[in-house]
Structure 1
Amino acid sequence: MKSTFYSFLMIALVMSCSNEPKKEAVKLSAENPFNVTLNQAVDYANVTGAHIEEYVNVTIENAELEIDAIKALKNVSFANTYETYDKVFSELNKSSNNAFMLYWVSTDSITRAKGLEGYQKIEKFNTNVGSDKALFNKFKAFADSDEYSKLKGHKKRLVDFVMQTFERSGVNLNEADVETYKKLLADISDLSSQYSINMNTANEVLTLTEAQAEGLPENFKNKYKTETGYEIPVQNATRGPVMSNAKSSAVRKEFTTKYANRGADKNLTILDSLVSKRYQLGKLMGYDSYAAYNLAPKMAKDPATVWEFVNGLVAKSKEKAIQDYEVLKAVRNKELNTPNDDSRINAWDAAYYKDQILKNEYKVDNEKMREYLPMQECLAGMFELYQELLGLEFRKIEGASVWHEEVETYEVYEGDKLKGRFYLDLFPRPNKESWFYGVPLTYGLNTSEGYEVPVSMLLGNFTRPTEDLPSLLSHGELSTLFHEFGHIVDGMSYEGDYSMQAYSKADFAEAMSQIFENWIFDYDILSSFAKHYETGEVFPKDLYDNMMNAKNVSSGIGAQGSLRRCLYDMYLYDKFNPEKPFDTDQLWRDLDAQMGLGANYIEGTHTQGSWIHINTHPTYYYGYLWSEVFAQDMFTVFEENGLRDQATGVKYRKLILANGSQRDILEAVEEFLGRPSNNDAYIKSLGLK
């Protein structure tokens, strides 16, 4: 998943026509690790909470100087307003992103606390900037000028984006409503942060006896063995092995319940407040719902479009899901010797019976496949593919200064030209953010000193290696790795002048990484790096063929599951009624009745209490499916020209990845495709054609 943090800051001097003398920028102390020259890496190993605090404070002080200078202008131009503001945005963004990143990943509690504090301080500053009428009036003065009327291309788009951002940030509200707006944003930020902390510090453990652990892979069991049995941490990395292999339905239910209830004892109340306050924010800004407010700048533009899109897919995939459940029932009844049992498959049993089908009917053993997918070999193969395809080179920086000893650092080159830098933080540890992200730290832009290259970090929670065993990935986890690294190369590929244009619209952002998941379903590519961790044997062709034959097993159930979450997200943020607030557990039950596939809600569980998307990315989940339509459509060009065709890969990098939002997305996609986009490839990928 790609995470984008919208903040603001400075670097260059304003070309002011004011008579006011320009105040000098504040400088960071020499020993602060964030005091770096252009494109110099931060000395992360030595960052402390005090360093973050100083970095944030200095960044804000300098931003205030630049913004005050813009407000003092007598004659406005594109250079002294929008270009200067973009540099302010860039510096604030770097400070905010670094603070938030360290809040997510640092092993030091004070550093994490100061990271969150700094991030929230910049958020508050940005809120004040966004509702600053004097600043807005300077931007509007330029937007109303003859110079603006002559702008074209990405410069005109930058002006339009900034104006839209101000209009969505309370600048047109009256004084009382501006204060309400600021208070709502501050409350939402506090609630969202606490939700994440509760989720990431839950540390649930599943304790099993030897008998209860029946069916679990031996390598997996050995990792968590104790003197009396097994203690398995309830986290993303252990979910697949337990849910697909544990012989006991009671064990599967217990794991599911613990997983769904991480942080829920506190987060259900927080979620209720978040939904209410976001509704109030949407109404304050003149919209019928928070979803309407949130969707306005996205490709979908409004809730009606999203509802139509999601409901259409629900209808198209329902028949396949019904068939899938009948197949699972037959497998269950055979295993339990209950031939006449027509009851619904328990939600906690579906993955297990699907795995039985894969093992017994298709000869696909996901745990056996792990043995051919050691992390280091997968990384090397993925790097080789991305480099060859996109015309880039990744150079590992040995001995780089990082926040944890397991983190790796790479620089990206195109020939001899530095294009960017990225960090890999791949394994779970206490207090670390528990999901998967491509995290932007710096966006590319032109400065007076040269081009500032993008910097990103891949945050993962893959199976941790042990003294006896390397990190072994499932094929699904390999797909996640390719997906998240797709976000990294997206960030590294940006070539624009302005940092504000480095990212695409939120409901297209996933497409640029989803497309890369397709490569691991090609045998020539998979077998080039997938080798047994002990013997070096190449991934067997018959195992690959079996996997491909089974690709659409339970695909209808998978599609309906994703759509169920899309609907839940949309109901929360588009159908909220303050006079009758949601019972967020009942909403799951209502959705089950609406979708007509039986009860997927497990009584006593609260998935909504540990679901990062509805917390930090509300009205976003549909975007995965929306983006997938474009991803599968764009992949057809590689299918036609060759999956290793560098000319096609470089064209994709230059037209799509490097674009950000410098030009219209649909226009760029259609140029790459050579035709209008359609959803044929996506529907086919679901096994529905």
Structure 2
Amino acid sequence: MKKIIPVIVLMSLMNCSEKETKATVSELSADNPFNVKLNEPFDYAKVTGASIADYVNFEIERSTAIIDAIKQESTPTLENTFLPFDAVSNKLNQANSNAFMLYWTSTDSVTRAKGIEYSKKLDSLNTVISSDKDLFKQFETFAASEDYSKLNDRRKRFVDDIIDGFKLSGVNLDNEKLKEYKALMADISDLTSQYSTNMNTADAVLTLDEKGAKGLPESFKETYKSDDGSYKIPAMPSTRGPVMQNATSSETRKQYQMLYSNRGADKNIDILKQLVEKRYQLGKLMGYDTYAEYNLVPKMAKNPETVWKFINDLVAESKDKAIQDIAVLKSARKSFDNIAEDQPLNAWDISYYKNQILKTQYNVDHEKIREYLPMESCLEGLFALYQELLDLEFREIENASVWHEDVQAYEVFDNGTLKGRFYLDLFPRPNKESWFYAVPLSPGKQMENGYEVPVSMLLGNFTKGTEELPSMITHGELSTLFHEFGHIMDKMAYEGEYSLQSDTKRDFVEAMSQIFENWIWDYDILSSFAKHYETGEVLPKELFDNMVNAKNVSSGLSAQGSLRSCIYDMNLYDKYNPSKPLDTDQLWRDIDQQLGVMDWYIEGTHPQACWIHINTHPVYYYGYLWSEVYAQDMFTVFEKNGLRDQATGVKYRKLILANGSQRPVDEVVEEFLGRPMNNKAYIKSLGLE
């Protein structure tokens, strides 16, 4: 039997009197692992499907009561309207993030099922709330008041962003269209979760004999050797590099790529078609010509024209270098395998021949470098650098309650004050999400009884160690680790008053983590932790110099590959024509012809069926390159002041990372740079200047 208790939402501002909004809701049971005091970690080890259901239902009931109370206010103010709405958003987002995270990571099938079920339930509620006309009327009433005009810029942005968000969520539609909007959002939520499940549960395994496995690193082979002597290699992100870069047999590489690019394709091809169609319908319903036009409104780019110009300019900048890169790869192919240079280059051969060039012409062997990068040492080095640079302290939580024994938990401190908490879930396992993400679990917010610190989780799929060998990563994977941990630091840095101001523009968010990839290209920093797993020998300076010299091998081709993905994403969501059914396979061929560099598409594959971005993050891929331009420009300040300069690091943390959406992005970037930003550093980083 549930008790009935009064829930008090305290809303306070500096120098403002406190006001209470009371509602009557059911109490969350004391033994529910999500029932904790301020800044106590959730008891993840005890989470069950039932506890997720109770937790989410409690938050829904409480939030619904608070929303109803807001709508009853006779004179809407910041304190009685926007602040309780921020409180509701905070709790619902926490519940949604945790439910979805456990869907991605739990080893229990019931917990995973309840995680996605209740995440979708919260998605539906958010759709209802964000299109609530009575609630929106309260917001508009305050925005038209004299009190609104007296707000400082940060609080005006807070109010304006909420109102703009409601406008983009169908609040101004008539009742019939609003019903259609809600149905579309529910369908899209359903389809995206089906797509993810199909991709993550695909049992794609390449079985090789000794001949087929020739060239693969011995340690890698040992990891996947079966009792019958064959090698059973799952096609997933953590195995892709070792196979595609090292397998001597072109047929092995092709077979692997076929498997990798078809994960979940039997169902996801159709799901993607439905997603594109429904998102198009959503954009039209909202008064836009395309879904991309609708999606880009709140981003820095603002419209498809800006994105297309950005993409096309970079295509032009990188094309000549890409064509040169192909000639170099063909020459290497001729040298190694005596294949005539007038023969087309196969997409599944690019990584292999690039790797051969690195090993023979630059004396760079990724597998030998891996031996200097055991995961444990890399984490120690990463922690040491981030703590020093950003003036923070990380403390591991002993005997932390986590969802899997591999997971580690840490608290972050700023001069002795708790600043945040993060979890590391770094290695693959069955049914776990297979990509690499920083997953925000709680954004950070001022509460009436203190500051609720942000919480995040780094989800990785790095190769796990064995009884004989520790986990070791490539330099490229180290870059991924530094990148994703940069996202963690972005979240840990936030200290704003409102949870709804914790996120920056979606096409800038990658910049704040991409910048940190630069540190692993400094020898003093890399050598401080890059030590051989057996001998303890420091990564030789000569080998590092070779890596630097080889850094831009195939950089033009790599840029074109990224741009190809950007173009595909934008075509899906900006060029969709309902009168002409979309062939998502043919689109790859059309883009290859348009770029005029090479045929990337492999017949019989469907990479669009296992590409998480176009599923859950549509009209996003250009943001990686858009952000990279900002990242490289901001890095010039560290190059000037010193890569370990704490004053610059703290300035970056306080000005850029901690900002969220409290100030305009370009404004804070310009303040950090001391000048308007430009793309010179980015072009230089590709070797295209």
Q: Shorter-chain TM-score: what band?
A: over 0.9
Counterpart in the other structure of 1:4:
none
Amino acid paired to 1:110: V
For 1:291-440, what aligned pairs fall within 5 Å after superposition?
A: 291-338=292-339, 340-440=340-440
For 1:552-631, what aligned pairs fall within 5 Å after superposition?
A: 552-631=552-631
Counterpart in the other structure of 1:133:
133
For 1:441-452, what aligned pairs fall within 5 Å after superposition?
A: 441-452=441-452
Distance 1:341 1:67 in 2: 68
C-alpha change, 1:659 and 1:365, in structure 2 (3 Å) is same
Contact 1:14 1:69 in 2 (8 A): no
C-alpha change, 1:144 and 1:261, in structure 2 (3 Å) is same
Distance 2:644 2:70 in 1: 49
Contact 2:484 2:513 in 1 (8 A): yes
Distance 1:249 1:547 in 2: 25
Distance 2:421 2:598 in 1: 48
For 1:476-555, what aligned pairs fall within 5 Å after superposition?
A: 476-555=476-555
Deviation at 1:653, TM superposition (A): 0.2
Counterpart in the other structure of 1:7:
none
Distance 1:98 1:513 in 2: 22
Distance 1:586 1:23 in 2: 56
Deviation at 1:581, TM superposition (A): 2.2
Counterpart in the other structure of 1:262:
263
Identity across aligned pairs (percent)? 66
Distance 1:404 1:225 in 2: 25
Contact 2:269 2:608 in 1 (8 A): yes
Contact 2:11 2:448 in 1 (8 A): no
Amino acid paired to 2:331: A
Deviation at 1:154, TM superposition (A): 1.2
Q: Does 1:178 align with 2:168?
A: no
Contact 1:592 1:600 in 2 (8 A): yes
Counterpart in the other structure of 2:72:
72
Contact 2:23 2:66 in 1 (8 A): no
Contact 1:592 1:599 in 2 (8 A): yes
Q: Does 1:191 align with 2:188?
A: no
Contact 1:11 1:91 in 2 (8 A): no
Distance 2:455 2:296 in 1: 28
Counterpart in the other structure of 1:12:
9
Distance 2:166 2:416 in 1: 40
SS at match of 1:485: helix
Deviation at 1:24, TM superposition (A): 2.5
Distance 2:95 2:23 in 1: 21
* Deviation readout 1:153-175 (Å, 9 max, x if unpaired): 21100100010011111110001
Contact 1:14 1:70 in 2 (8 A): no
Deviation at 1:26, TM superposition (A): 2.9
SS at match of 1:439: strand
SS at match of 2:409: strand
* Deviation readout 1:600-634 (Å, 9 max, x if unpaired): 10000000000000000000000000000000000
SS at match of 1:349: helix
TM-score under structure 1 length normalisation:
0.97
User: How many residues align structurally?
Assistant: 676
Counterpart in the other structure of 1:6:
none
Distance 2:206 2:21 in 1: 65
Deviation at 1:334, TM superposition (A): 1.6
* Deviation readout 1:346-383 (Å, 9 max, x if unpaired): 00001000000000000000000000000000000000
Counterpart in the other structure of 1:234:
235
Distance 1:255 1:386 in 2: 37
Counterpart in the other structure of 2:223:
223
Deviation at 1:21, TM superposition (A): 9.3
Distance 1:445 1:129 in 2: 20
Distance 1:238 1:601 in 2: 21
Distance 1:70 1:567 in 2: 44
Contact 2:11 2:83 in 1 (8 A): no
Which stretch shows the higher mean deviation, 203-212 or 514-523? 203-212
Deviation at 1:11, TM superposition (A): 7.0
Unaligned runs of 5+ in 2: 1-6, 13-19
SS at match of 2:26: coil
Amino acid paired to 1:82: F
Distance 2:8 2:254 in 1: 54
Distance 1:124 1:102 in 2: 19
Contact 2:76 2:138 in 1 (8 A): yes
SS at match of 1:576: coil
Amino acid paired to 2:444: G
Distance 2:122 2:598 in 1: 46
SS at match of 2:301: coil
Amino acid paired to 1:295: L
Contact 1:56 1:118 in 2 (8 A): yes
* Deviation readout 1:380-424 (Å, 9 max, x if unpaired): 000000000000000001100000000000000011100000000
SS at match of 2:456: strand
Distance 1:316 1:219 in 2: 40
SS at match of 1:23: strand
Contact 1:454 1:494 in 2 (8 A): yes
SS at match of 2:421: strand
Distance 1:28 1:133 in 2: 30
Counterpart in the other structure of 1:637:
637
* Deviation readout 1:84-141 (Å, 9 max, x if unpaired): 1101110111111100000000000000010001110111011111111111101110
Distance 1:237 1:22 in 2: 50
Deviation at 1:680, TM superposition (A): 0.3
For 1:197-208, what aligned pairs fall within 5 Å after superposition?
A: 197-208=197-208
Distance 2:247 2:23 in 1: 66
Deviation at 1:642, TM superposition (A): 0.2
Amino acid paired to 1:555: S
Contact 2:390 2:650 in 1 (8 A): yes
* Deviation readout 1:473-497 (Å, 9 max, x if unpaired): 0000000000000000000000100
Distance 1:393 1:119 in 2: 33
Deviation at 1:203, TM superposition (A): 2.2
Amino acid paired to 2:544: Y
Amino acid paired to 1:118: Y
SS at match of 2:9: coil
Contact 2:9 2:21 in 1 (8 A): no
Counterpart in the other structure of 1:5:
none
* Deviation readout 1:221-275 (Å, 9 max, x if unpaired): 1111122321111111110010011000000000000000000010000000000
Distance 1:268 1:21 in 2: 48
Contact 1:202 1:262 in 2 (8 A): yes
Counterpart in the other structure of 1:246:
247
Counterpart in the other structure of 2:81:
81
Contact 1:435 1:461 in 2 (8 A): yes
Contact 2:293 2:304 in 1 (8 A): yes
Distance 2:598 2:381 in 1: 42
Distance 2:153 2:399 in 1: 43
Distance 1:14 1:312 in 2: 48
Contact 2:322 2:556 in 1 (8 A): yes
Distance 2:510 2:153 in 1: 24
SS at match of 1:93: helix
Distance 1:180 1:507 in 2: 28
Contact 1:291 1:573 in 2 (8 A): yes
Contact 2:102 2:112 in 1 (8 A): yes
C-alpha change, 1:367 and 1:65, in structure 2 (3 Å) is same
SS at match of 1:348: helix
Distance 1:667 1:500 in 2: 19
